[in-house]
Every structure is written in structure tokens, then in C-alpha cells.
Structure 1
Amino acid sequence: MEIVINRNLIFAENRYLETDRLKLRPITLNDANDMYEYGSDEETVTYVFPIHQSIKDTKESIANYFMSAPLGKYGIELKETGKLIGAIDLRVVEQHNIAEIGYSLNKAFWGQGFVAEAASELLRLGFNELQLMRIFAIHDIDNPQSGRVMEKIGMKIEGNIPNARMCKGKIVTDIMRGITLEEWQQLHN
């Protein structure tokens, strides 16, 4: 008999997560100013999403993406200041027992290990609680910094996908990285 895992319930029970320096929590309209700060910066959003032209764009993004279906989506908040510095999500593909992780971070906070810290907590949730067998992430070949974050959390290159998609009028080659449950367990034993 197959064991059925109610992943929505697990996400609902884990809407608030903490690491040493961060709180991972739901994003609300109260976060609009902090998100607009990085969402309106071309360098920050180059590989992630269309630039926010106004605070209205940011509020619409929060309402349409983060609030309409909040499970598995987290704001990255600095414990020290309460400032929202980015977002991270874990998108489960139920029928395959896998998930994709994605993230964005205010460039003022790049290079300090915040995304790796948040992503490590989502890997723990994904493998320990959600009982996933593999978690993967994709980055533009022209964005090696994102690939370094994935390396830090134990993800290995699984493939190079030429002409994977169009992004902002540009043909993108994607690098896929992933980590299996067994690989994650080896790193954490």
C-alpha cells in the first residue's frame, strides 16, 4: 500500500521557519517597499523576473504570486532588522516526488551566504518533512553566482540545456543542478 503524504498540510504547518540569521515566512503586502527595493533594480532581477516599474507592480506580484497560493513560498527576512531581503520557494511536482527550488535576493545582501542558508532549510524541509526524493534548481549559464549557491548546498550539475527558454528577449542556456535524498543524507550524517 502506498503511503500518501499531504504536502499541503506539511507546508501549512511549516509556514514559518528559522535559521541562525533568517526568518522564512509568508510574504504580505506589508513587504511591498522592501520587495520593490530589489524588484526595481535591474541587476538584481536580470535572471529572475521582469523589473518592477512601480510599487503597484510589486503589490500585484505579491498578491498574484505569493498570496494567491502561499504554500511553499517564503520571504527571506533578516532576524536582526526585520527587513525582507529576498524570496525563496519550493515548488513540488507531486506525481514525481521531486521539487524545484528558486530564489531572489536584494543585491545589497549578495555574497553573505543568506540564500544558501535559506535554501539549506528548504532542503531539510523537503527531504525530512515532505519526503521528496530529489530537489533541483535551474540557473542561466550567464549567472554563475546562482550556480555557486547551488554548489554550496550540495547540488551537482545534472545537465546543460541549450536554447532552454526565452527570457527578456534573449535565448537562454540553462544549467540544471540537483541533489537526491541519499546525497543530502550523506552530507548531513
Structure 2
Amino acid sequence: MEEIINIPLLFAENTVLETTRLRLRPLRMTDAKDMYEYASDEETTRYVFQQHRNLADTQFAIANYFMAEPLGKYAIEEKKSSKMIGTIDLRVDATYGRGELGYTLNKAYWGQGIMPEAAFALLVLGFDKMKLVSINAYHNLENAKSGRVMEKIGMKKVTEIKSSRLWKGELIDEALYMITAADWQKRTM
């Protein structure tokens, strides 16, 4: 008989994850100001979500997306400043044993290895504790920086999908990246 992994329980037991520089934790309404700082920036939000026009948009997103169903969704907090600088989530399809990463980071923190550090913590959770078969991520082909994050954590590009979805009224092309449990076991990170 195969072991049944209780994904919600594992997320509930791992609501806070620590790395060298970061604390991944549940979002709170008190994060609204920090989130609005980057969520109102067109460059930061261009490929991931609609730019927030005001603090109320940010409060709505926190309450309705991050707090309404919090499991697997994390604020990225810089330990040294206690500032919330981004978000990352792992959405799991337990039926097929796979997960999907999504993330956003305040552009003031780009290029410092923060997102790979945060993503690696979720790969540890997904593969070592949840025993997932694979974890994937998508990025708009125009957003090469996101693809570099995926490569840094050991993901490989599987394919490019032309006209894969509508985004802000336009058809966009995306790249699909993936890391399998077998690749994870062979990692050198």
C-alpha cells in the first residue's frame, strides 16, 4: 500500500521556513505597505499581476488571495530588516504529485540571489517532505530574469508555448521549466 502524503498538513506544519537571509511566513495585513511598495511598480508587476493603483488594491489581494487560502503561500521577509520584500507560493496537485512555483520580488532586491534562495526552500519542502514527483514554473518569454531564477534552482526548460494565455488583453508566449524528483536527488546545490 502506497504512503499517503497529507499535503495540507505538511503546509500547516511548515508555515514558516527559514533560510540564511530570509524568513518565509504567512502574509499579514500589516504587510500591505511593504507589498504596495512593489505591487504599485509597473516594472515589478509587468509579468505577474495587475499593478496596484492604491493601498486598498493591496489589502484586497492580501485578504482575498493570501489570507483566504494561506497554505503554500509565503511572504518573503528579509531577516536583517524584517521587511516583507516579496511573495512566493507552491501550488500542489496531490493527485499527480506535482507542484508549481510562482513568485514576485521587490525590484530593489533583484540580482542578489534572494529569489533562488526562497525557491530552494520550497523545493526542499516539496521534494523532501511532500515527496512530489516534479515541480514546474512558467514565465513570460519576455521575462528572461525569471527563467534565470528557475535555472539557478536546477529547473530545466521543457518547452516554449506560443500564444499560451491571455495577459492584459494580449496573447503571450511562455516557457515551461521543470525539475523532477530524480533531478532533485542529483542536485549539486
Bin for the TM-score computed over the shorter chain: over 0.9
SS at match of 2:137: strand
CA-to-partner distance for each residue in 1:52-86, whole Å, 9 max, x for gaps? Answer: 00100000000000000000000000000000000
Is 1:58 matched up with 2:34?
no
Query: Map of 1:61-72 to 2, 5 A cutoff?
Result: 61-72=61-72
Shift of 1:2: 2.5
Which ranges in structure 1 are unaligned for 5 or more consecutive residues? none
Alignment partner of 1:96 is 2:92:
no
Q: TM-score, normalised by structure 1?
A: 0.98
Write out per-residue CA displacement over residues 31-66 of structure 1, whole angstroms, 9 at most, x where no aligned residue.
Answer: 000000000000000000000001000000000000
Q: How does 1:111-130 map to 2 (within 5 A)?
A: 111-130=111-130
For structure 2, the 5+ residue unaligned runs are none
Residues 175-186 of structure 1: matches in 2 within 5 Å? 175-186=175-186
Aligned residue number for residue 164 of structure 1 = 164
Amino acid at match of 2:144: P
How many pairs align? 189
Cα-Cα RMSD: 0.9
Stretches of 4+ moved more than 4 A in 1? none
TM-score by length of 2: 0.98
Q: Percent identity?
A: 53
SS of equivalent to 2:95 = helix
Alignment-derived partner of residue 131 in structure 2:
131
Letter in 1 for 2:112: Q
User: What's the offset of the Cα at 1:169?
Assistant: 1.6
Mapped partners of 1:170, 1:37: distance in 2 = 26
Match of 2:35 in 1: 35
- Residues 86-114 of structure 1, C-alpha deviation per residue, up to 9 Å, x if partnerless? 00000001111000000000001100010
Deviation at residue 188 of structure 1 after TM alignment: 4.6
